[in-house]
Structure 1
Amino acid sequence: MAQPLYRRLHERHPGLELHVFAPQWTLPLLARMPEVAKAHLNPFGHGALKLGARWKIARRLAREKFDQVIVLPNSLKSALIPLMAGIPLRTGFIGESRYGILNDARELDEKSLPMMVERFCALAEDKHHAIPRPIPHPSLTVDEAARNDVLQRLGLDLARPVAAFCPGAEYGPAKRWPARHFAALARRFHEVGYAVWLFGSNKDAAIGDDIAALSGGLAVNLCGRTGLDEAIDLMGCADIAICNDSGLMHVAAALEKPLVALYGSSSPDFTPPLSDRAAIVNLDLPCSPCFERTCPYGHTDCLETLEPGLAWQAAMRLIEPR
């Protein structure tokens, strides 16, 4: 969702050299973005202050002599390294009372900028300037030679059309459609001639195993068996993707795949798939979106009662069954 911001910065500043300070798992993604000249590893997880370690990284970044930093997270900690690195112009939303730490602090108008991608793009503009619309969709490239290598390594082939399922969601279980629903949908795709591949990280391996078992082995569990770069290349083979509201959902959208996006505790008004080929499936219950990691009522009805038939119908409207 930050890629349209990167693109806009290049439009505004011809000759720009853009670096990104980001977590380990995002580095393969950034390598597929032509707007990014260099990525720097952000080793800090949520809640880790570690001022000494932040100081060392800040001094290393200071050698790059950056003119400006745009701080996307709203936390106080995320703004400390740019300050320690002595970057002259430090732009971001006020967030956790970051006056002084950010010297180009903006107030966020949530009503005029309801989507996260809009909020990111607003930081590319001068203060009080409107963002240009429409915002371009993100776009990722596929490495065909690397794709062929990973197909061979994993024993996969393209004899049948491929449905990519992304059953994970890093945020929490209130964003994860149940394994039994994914399995039922896998059986439907198999009946009309599709191969079903499950994508995700090591953390999603268990739910991938559940889906594979419940589908009677019809879904191939690739969760944890690929790096993100390999997952991008393999998802490039897919004819359709079925995803929770997750990072891989946005990857599928950036690959311009027909996409069914499943929403529970989160809102498609805030983090929609940035694609003209996406269908949103949710129940719009009175208790959702709650934006909680786990259901505060203990039932997760927003996903438990979202039947596979709804996702199937949405998928069939996007593609012709084979």
Structure 2
Amino acid sequence: MSRSANPGEKARRVLVIKLSALGDFVLALGAMRAIRAAHPKASITLLTTPPYEGLAKATGFFQKIETDGRPEGLKATRALLKRIREQKYDIVYDLQTSGRTANYFKALNMPMRKPPLWSGHAAGAAFEHKGPERERMHSIDRFGAQLEIAGLGPETTGGQWPPMPDMSFVRRALGDSPSLLPEYFSIYGPYALIIPGASSHRSAKRWPPERYAALASRIAEAGVTPVLIGSKAEAEIGQTICQAEPRTKNLVNRTSLFQIVTLADQALFAVGNDTGPMHMAALSRCPGVALFATSESDPSKAAPRGAQMIICQAPTLDELSVRDVWQAVQMLGAIPGRDKVAQT
């Protein structure tokens, strides 16, 4: 444990660093809320990247959001570090804990300089979170352990521990905008979300599109509209699924991050791969079935939390059949009249 003292309510300037990716960002929202609670009088700045600026603003946790957290080139990096030094932050919470942010710490910790207190994994940080157990933790637990070393906990933040994210801030920030309703997308009646994407460089984390199409058919036969969501990168996958099962509603590349949240909080359930929108759905209290290739990721460290979630896992996703996933969907108990639905 560090001998440094967290400034707590005395802090005037605080920096939080969280650059990406989508799932990691939303899983850090609980930690961000805890930091806000621990420093109620501080001006808190978030250093991030452009895709997460809107979400960050909607939380209300930050007075300032900077989106150049991944500068390109030496000149831009020096400008970023100069700005951080000039702000004279009382404490920096590095929630990214990457090689990049460790280098930021080293650059700010040059001899003859007085760096801010630093919470993160960088060697020599005032609140250094290290040890082999760190790499075995679920992200939410890891954030909680990191903040504990920095002196935060339920007694300083007034909430559960580890701090759980939730997406309720979206409704508070955006209100009853018509664009947040299922009807905005011509969705009427019960529906389920299908989330067939994953990182573009991790294709092994994607269940085959033809199996999603077969699953969509079973969902549609049960009287529930299958609704596809995803980014532009999943456009071809979405077309493949919809061509095989035309009753599917294709919203791939048509939803904002906010709309994903509000669609999820009214959906009967979600089925998807190990990807950011599945975390958003679970944190919106949408039950679901998450598909994991254990050769690619460990559910104990990456499973969605926040709602009832059944994990379907196999060494590779090719080994998961449509029947496996459909049985898991039925176990959720979310399908109306499910007792009348075929069990095959």
TM-score normalised by the shorter chain: which range applies? 0.7 to 0.9
The letter for the 1-side match of 2:248 is: A
The letter for the 2-side match of 1:305 is: E
Per the alignment, residue 246 of structure 1 pairs with 275
CA shift for structure 1 position 152: 8.3
- Matched position secondary structure for 2:132: coil
Per the alignment, residue 71 of structure 1 pairs with 94
Q: Distance in 1 between matches of 2:221 and 2:252?
A: 23
Pairing 1:29–2:59 present: no
Whether contact under 8 Å (2:242, 2:250) holds in the other structure is yes
Per the alignment, residue 165 of structure 2 pairs with 138
- Matched position secondary structure for 1:205: helix
The letter for the 2-side match of 1:5 is: A
1:93 to 102, 105, 121: 121
Residues 63/220 of structure 1: CA separation in 2 closer, same or farther (3 Å cut): farther
Per the alignment, residue 271 of structure 1 pairs with 302
Give the TM-score normalised by the residue count of structure 1. 0.80
Gaps of 5+ in 2: 1-26, 109-113, 155-159, 337-344
Q: Distance in 2 between matches of 1:117 and 1:317?
A: 26
Moved more, 222-231 or 77-86: 77-86
CA shift for structure 1 position 200: 1.1
Pairing 1:183–2:213 present: yes
Give the TM-score normalised by the residue count of structure 2. 0.75
The letter for the 2-side match of 1:274 is: R
Per the alignment, residue 289 of structure 1 pairs with none
Whether contact under 8 Å (1:257, 1:277) holds in the other structure is yes
CA shift for structure 1 position 9: 2.3
CA shift for structure 1 position 60: 3.7
Whether contact under 8 Å (1:55, 1:84) holds in the other structure is no
1:163 to 192, 214, 230: 192
Pairing 1:58–2:81 present: yes
Q: Distance in 1 between matches of 2:213 and 2:189?
A: 19
More helix by share: 2
Percent sequence identity is 28
Q: Distance in 1 between matches of 2:183 and 2:81?
A: 40
Per the alignment, residue 19 of structure 1 pairs with 45
The letter for the 2-side match of 1:137 is: M
CA shift for structure 1 position 71: 1.7
Whether contact under 8 Å (2:197, 2:273) holds in the other structure is yes
Per the alignment, residue 306 of structure 1 pairs with 320
Whether contact under 8 Å (1:205, 1:221) holds in the other structure is no
- Matched position secondary structure for 2:302: coil
**RMSD over aligned Cα atoms:** 2.8
Q: Distance in 2 between matches of 1:112 and 1:78?
A: 17
Q: Distance in 2 between matches of 1:12 and 1:40?
A: 21
Pairing 1:315–2:334 present: no
- CA-to-aligned-CA distance 1:227-286 (integer Å, 9 cap, x gap): 222322333331211121111111001101011111112111111211241111113x4x
- Matched position secondary structure for 1:270: helix
Q: Distance in 2 between matches of 1:196 and 1:235?
A: 12
CA shift for structure 1 position 121: 1.9
